[in-house]
Amino acid sequence: MAATVYFSKLEKGERIRDCLNRLMVSIDPFLTSFGKGSFVGIKMTIGDQGSTGYIKPELVGMLVKKLKKQGAKPFVFDTNVIYHGKRQNAVDHLNLAYQKGFTPGKIGCPYIIADSVFGTDSISVKADYKNIRQIKVPSLIKMLDDVIVLSHVTGHLMSGFAGSIKNVAMGMSSRAGKQIQHSSIKPMINVDTCTMCGACIEVCPVSAISELSTNAYINSEICVGCAECIAACKIQAVHINWNEDPHVFAERMSEYAMGILSRIRRKIFLNFATDITLECDCICGDDQRIVDDTGIFASEDILAVDKSCFDVLTGSRDLFSRGGKISAHKHQFEYAEAIGLGKTDYKLVTI
């Protein structure tokens, strides 16, 4: 049977808060299942310092208000990242969140960094997939029963399309788990292009890059594939083998999402298709939007919500393939269905 996806279409001139309110009415039977005393983790990310397309605190506050009214105990959470920026530790991460308006007074609940101050809260959970034998997650994930995943849809340098699957796989894993998912991506330096500016050396979190003669050199034995060097290089001298490794990266994200969600009893996924940029919120600033604001998608099926959102946004054109260089998102849809993460067959209910 096809998975049901609710699509609150953003009409011309309509505010996104009205779009969300209409959606919450449609999924009210599910939201009311988060009853009295339920600790509901709302997973989302605010992006890094320059990012402007993140889901705004006012929208999160609408959902929190609904949950609290029915006696639930909601909280917003995220995890620290492995690349340089304002979210490498919980102190800077929380300060950034407060600067962006994610204060208890504005969203109506606490904003929590799940993996501790330095990202060291990490436990191993057994898994049995092709690429992953164990997942590494904050201890909070092992305790959660109820989760609402709010994802701001964007493009992504490696996976092409980024929605709920990436938000769960990366955002709900510990820093160690993030590195494991990235570890098959081994970038290389184009020696004909490299000017030895040192930007990649400065940002590498594991000191895998050094100066070799007149160009930089990446030690693949040390490299964890976090892609920070790719974002730092302004002359595109860092090269990735797009034909193979991104598919493994997409598979690992699917496996991580599967391992995480299999431990959570109730979950629903909301994809916000607004302010969509080619790069993800981790590295983009106020970048050019690649498609008009479309609306919000919601489903109990993580794969169906991503696939339907992708289909509506792209139609007959693939906005996320970067000129045909990336097909990892298409592979991810197929692989995620094959391992049982969700369904690509969906029924879209437009509201």
**CATH fourth-level superfamily of 3-181+245-350:** LarA, N-terminal domain (3.40.50.11440)
Quick: pLDDT tens for 157-203.
889 999 999 999 999 999 889 978 887 777 899 999 999 999 999 98
Range 17-45 average pLDDT: 97
Cα separation values, 289 from 13, 278, 285, Å: 17, 8, 11
Indicate if the pLDDT at residue 316 is higher than 80.
no
Query: From residue 152, how far is each of 149, 202, 257, 269 by CA, in Å?
Result: 10, 29, 17, 11
Label residue 242 by pLDDT band (50, 70, 90): low
Domain ranges of the chain: 3-181+245-350, 186-239
Q: With contact defined as beta carbons under 8 Å apart, do 42 and 87 qualify?
A: no
Q: What is the largest CA-CA distance in the chain?
A: 65
SS3 at position 150: strand
Alpha helices in the chain (DSSP H): 16-26, 28-31, 57-69, 90-99, 104-107, 139-143, 164-171, 175-182, 199-203, 228-232, 245-261, 302-314, 328-338
Which of the 8 DSSP states describes residue 73?
Answer: E
Mean pLDDT (the chain) is 93
Q: Could you check whether 3-181+245-350 and 186-239 share the same CATH topology?
A: no
Does the domain at 186-239 match CATH 1.20.120.140? Answer given as no
User: What is each CA distance from 87 to 92, 218, 249, 320, in whole angstroms?
Assistant: 6, 24, 22, 25
Cβ-Cβ contacts under 8 Å for 213 (sequence gap 6 or more)? none
What is the distance in angstroms between the CA of the first residue and the CA of the last residue of the chain? 21
- The predicted pLDDT at position 336 comes to 98
Query: Which residue would you say has higher pLDDT here, 20 or 205?
Result: 20
Residue 277 tokens read as 């940029």
Please name the amino acid found at residue 140. Answer: L
**Which among 42, 94, 44 is positioned nearest to 68, based on CA atoms?**
42
CA distances from 37 to 70, 109, 226, 257 (A): 9, 14, 38, 26
Judged by phi (left if over 0) then psi (alpha if -120 to 50, else beta), residue 2 lies in: beta
